[in-house]
Homo-oligomer: A and B are copies of this chain.
């Protein structure tokens, strides 16, 4: 009998079996920093609208590694060299690209910490892990930071066609049950190639890219920025803001100690740099702290805190309107006044229950990178020039919408 070299197999309802070879990827998955992602919802509060969309950052990150391995295979087949060390590093980079996400992912990105986004936190985690793993992550970090010479490796981790986007669009469609978002991941990966160290898509894959762009736009409006999700997530943001305010005013509120630390302080990048332990504290946080607090805060005497908490927990969400132009000051004020009277609130406090903001379909981030097509004649064109189906508009147009949240009137 041969000696068995055991891979770890992780079932994925989308891809079937994901095989993780013994080695650093496997060890990183087992690390408590990474295990924490099991408790971070991939789509914030979207599951209040799409109950199936209850999947986690943990599963997404592993799915990204699965796709990355496929992409590496393809690019090697096209004749480009990716060494085993580079392959491992780019897999580590994609595995950890989101490890800095806090509770409810994007939804609370600006509520828990200040002036430090999840990418910066991901980097801090990677650097800490690099220490623990004796420098084994340094190439991954270089790639993640876009400092490695083979630029296309960075683009596999972060660009218009990175493995992150390919996985999340497919995964979010799958779990939400919104068929419209399904994209041809496999075909797109098969069409990958490299020209002058940059990722390109072969011309034959142009339809799949068009479809990908449309699907992405639609997922934004139908799932990520669904108006009920906007209402829920913005309410959650208001709740945290109110909690912080109360704490700073000396009011006692329930909280697990770790979360309390972050509610009491406004930690910024500098604090993380100065205080190594802070990252460990942050790594204790997940969706569970927040929900446990909300449930207790329902009973708090502060009307804003308790009523908003109940709205999330009992899913009695604020009404929401979405439109293409800003809401007039008058409309907003009128809504506030109703609330002020009804609940005897100051205008400032009414602003927790009645609020308006802008929301942007930022699918494109057209600044950051482009999608380039490798034409049959060997030249490279941007998708907006290569496509004869899509208008420029569709690809680069940023769409702004405005929402107004307010309590139902009765």
Contacts and interface: CB of A to CB of B under 8 A. Distances in A.
B35 A77 contact: no
Nearest to A58: B51
B211 A218 contact: yes
A190 interface: yes
Interface in A383-399: 388-391, 393-394, 399
Contacts of A367: none
Nearest to A35: B315
Nearest to A173: B13
Contacts of A13: 52, 174-177
A16 to B, nearest CB: 5
A392 to B, nearest CB: 9
A356 interface: no
Interface residues of A, number: 88
Contacts of A248: none
Interface in A46-61: 47-48, 50-52, 54-56, 58-59
Given A284-B295, A291-B288, A2 B54 contact: no
A193 interface: yes
A390 B394 contact: yes
A249 interface: no
Contacts of A291: 39, 286, 288
A52 B11 contact: yes
B56 A186 contact: no
A80 interface: yes
Given A2-B79, A32-B313, A295-B258, A177 B394 contact: no
A289 B47 CA distance: 19
Contacts of A11: 50-52, 176-178
Contacts of A2: 78-80, 193-194
A245 interface: no
Contact of A16 (B186, B195, B254, B391): B186
Nearest to A181: B211
A148 interface: no
Contact of A177 (B16, B35, B55, B195): B16
Nearest to A285: B295
Contact of A292 (B9, B17, B193, B289): B289
A38 B47 contact: yes
